């Protein structure tokens, strides 16, 4: 009889644990749904502001002190850049730092990838240069064309889709890009016939206010930062990228014991999709002493759809996580998310990621997998506990 009671008691405990976990997982999934429900959370948009307020109030419910950290940056707004050949008008994307212009001239196709050497036996004075993407940086490509006397540069993307990029240097001539699908036939046409091209680079720089949601476990300097970006690209509700990571760190804040939570800041970064701008603004604003006192930054991005979870970043951290999950995947040198802003300041950082998936940056990124989200949360919690020595 005693044994039976003991067994019943064990079952009762197990059952209540399962139920508690299911309830908790449901909470994180509901957070993802709420964020998705706001629509695309593009930095600078009303949807993003609404999402920031939602996150702020959720962290306040956990008892954390919160703050919305503002920062500003510039974004290019395109008012209809194009490349026109005769009656054929192609949509174009003006590269950041290009000259704004409306100009026309005979087109010349530049061989190879348009480096300085490729202009040696080619006259492009007062011509529009047509060149393939790849081989060398955009900056070098545009500089070689400008130095050779070209009046405009049209870069043809190496894949069928469009291309938006930053030249990382100022130019006196327009530099635009067309999709591979539009540009490849144009390259052939220009190689065979004399083609006049009209290039319209019509962009304005607009100032955007970014918003990081910072939730502090206590007034003490943090030992750990848990981060995830909550902005998304235009047109995508960003369920996996990255309501998943945003909900994961929020749920970790709820489940961690107060003693550990007090050593952590939970940061939802804005403007990751504009080039890790939220995390770099955050890092720039942190006092050096706070940066130096950090044991680690854990970044969660795209963590609830697709493959098993992988980690990349500081080897001390990936090793520690392998101690928790021996067969975990590992990737090297991927700077495509907010951990990179911390690594740049020599803070040990690690990126939890499930890799690119078919809905990446598309309107169809609208759902996540509850089991995978829960797995990520559990691994994150175990990592925190190991790092803080409990
Ligand atoms: Zn992302």
pTM beyond 0.85: the answer is: no
Section 336-350 average pLDDT: 95
Alpha carbon 333 to chain centroid distance?
15
Closest CA to 111 of 89, 90, 129: 129
Section 69-80 average pLDDT: 91
Domain ranges in the chain with CATH number 3.40.630.10: 28-76+207-387
Pick the CATH number of 80-201 from 3.50.30.30, 3.40.30.10, 3.40.50.1820, 3.40.1280.10: 3.50.30.30
pLDDT at 76: 81
CA–centroid distance, 40 to ligand 1, in Å, is 13
The C-alpha atoms of residue 335 and residue 290 are separated, in whole angstroms, by 23
CA–centroid distance, 272 to ligand 1, in Å, is 7
The C-alpha atoms of residue 156 and residue 262 are separated, in whole angstroms, by 52
CA–centroid distance, 306 to ligand 1, in Å, is 14
DSSP label of 119: G
CA–centroid distance, 242 to ligand 1, in Å, is 5
Crossing angle between the packed helical segments 244-255 and 370-387, to the nearest 10 degrees: 50
The fold of 28-76+207-387 is: Aminopeptidase (3.40.630)
Burial of 168 (0-12, 13-18, 19+ CB in 10 A): exposed
CA–centroid distance, 11 to ligand 1, in Å, is 41
CA–centroid distance, 181 to ligand 1, in Å, is 26
Q: Sorting pLDDT into bands at 50, 70 and 90, what band is 1?
A: very low
pLDDT at 9: 55
CA–centroid distance, 357 to ligand 1, in Å, is 12
Q: Sorting pLDDT into bands at 50, 70 and 90, what band is 10?
A: low
CA–centroid distance, 353 to ligand 1, in Å, is 9
CA–centroid distance, 341 to ligand 1, in Å, is 14
Domain ranges in the chain with CATH number 3.50.30.30: 80-201
Contacts of 104 (CB under 8 A, 6+ apart): 128, 196, 197, 198, 199
Section 328-348 average pLDDT: 92
pLDDT digit string, tens, across residues 154-194: 999 988 889 888 888 889 999 999 999 999 999 999 999 99
Q: Sorting pLDDT into bands at 50, 70 and 90, what band is 237?
A: very high
CA–centroid distance, 267 to ligand 1, in Å, is 14
Bond preceding residue 311 cis, omega within 30 of 0: no
pLDDT of 22 higher than 70: no
CA–centroid distance, 313 to ligand 1, in Å, is 16
Q: Sorting pLDDT into bands at 50, 70 and 90, what band is 25?
A: low
Q: Sorting pLDDT into bands at 50, 70 and 90, what band is 108?
A: very high
pLDDT at 174: 96
CA 89, 90, 93, 98 dihedral sign is: negative
Report the run of H or E that residue 178 belongs to, with start and end.
strand 175-178
CA 288, 289, 290, 293 dihedral sign is: positive
CA–centroid distance, 241 to ligand 1, in Å, is 5
CA–centroid distance, 337 to ligand 1, in Å, is 6
């Amino acid at each position: 009889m005693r044994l039976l009671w003991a067994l019943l008691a064990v079952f009762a405990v197990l059952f209540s644990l399962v139920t508690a976990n299911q309830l908790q997982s449901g909470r994180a999934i509901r957070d993802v749904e709420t964020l998705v429900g706001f629509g695309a959370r593009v930095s600078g948009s009303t949807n993003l502001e609404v999402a920031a307020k939602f996150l702020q109030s959720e962290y306040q419910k956990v008892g954390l002190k919160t703050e919305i950290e503002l920062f500003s940056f510039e974004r290019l707004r395109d008012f209809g850049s194009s490349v026109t050949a005769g009656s054929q008008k192609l949509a174009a994307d003006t590269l950041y730092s290009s000259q704004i212009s409306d100009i026309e001239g005979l087109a010349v196709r530049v061989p190879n990838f348009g480096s300085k050497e490729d202009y040696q036996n080619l006259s492009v004075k007062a011509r529009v240069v047509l060149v393939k993407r790849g081989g060398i940086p955009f900056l070098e490509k545009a500089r070689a064309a400008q130095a050779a006397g070209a009046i405009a540069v049209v870069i043809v993307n190496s894949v069928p889709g469009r291309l938006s990029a930053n030249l990382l240097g100022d130019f006196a001539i327009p530099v635009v890009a067309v999709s591979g699908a539009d540009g490849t036939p144009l390259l052939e046409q220009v190689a065979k016939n004399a083609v006049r091209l009209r290039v319209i680079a019509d962009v304005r720089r607009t100032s955007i206010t970014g918003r990081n949601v910072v939730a502090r476990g206590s007034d003490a300097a943090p030992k750990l930062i848990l981060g995830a970006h909550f902005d998304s690209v235009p047109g995508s509700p960003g369920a996996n990228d990255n309501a998943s990571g945003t909900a994961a760190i929020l749920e970790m804040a709820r489940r961690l014991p107060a003693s550990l939570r007090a050593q952590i800041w939970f940061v939802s970064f804005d403007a990751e999709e504009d080039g890790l701008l939220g995390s770099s603004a955050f890092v720039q604003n942190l006092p050096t002493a706070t940066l130096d006192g950090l044991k680690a930054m854990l970044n969660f991005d795209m963590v609830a759809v697709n493959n098993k979870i992988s980690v990349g970043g500081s080897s001390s951290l990936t090793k520690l996580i392998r101690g928790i999950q021996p067969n975990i995947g590992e990737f090297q040198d991927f700077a495509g998310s907010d951990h990179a802003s911390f690594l740049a300041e020599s803070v040990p950082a690690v990126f939890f990621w499930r890799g690119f998936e078919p809905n990446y940056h598309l309107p169809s990124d609208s759902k996540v997998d509850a089991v995978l989200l829960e797995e990520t949360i559990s691994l994150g919690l175990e990592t925190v506990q190991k790092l803080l020595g409990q």
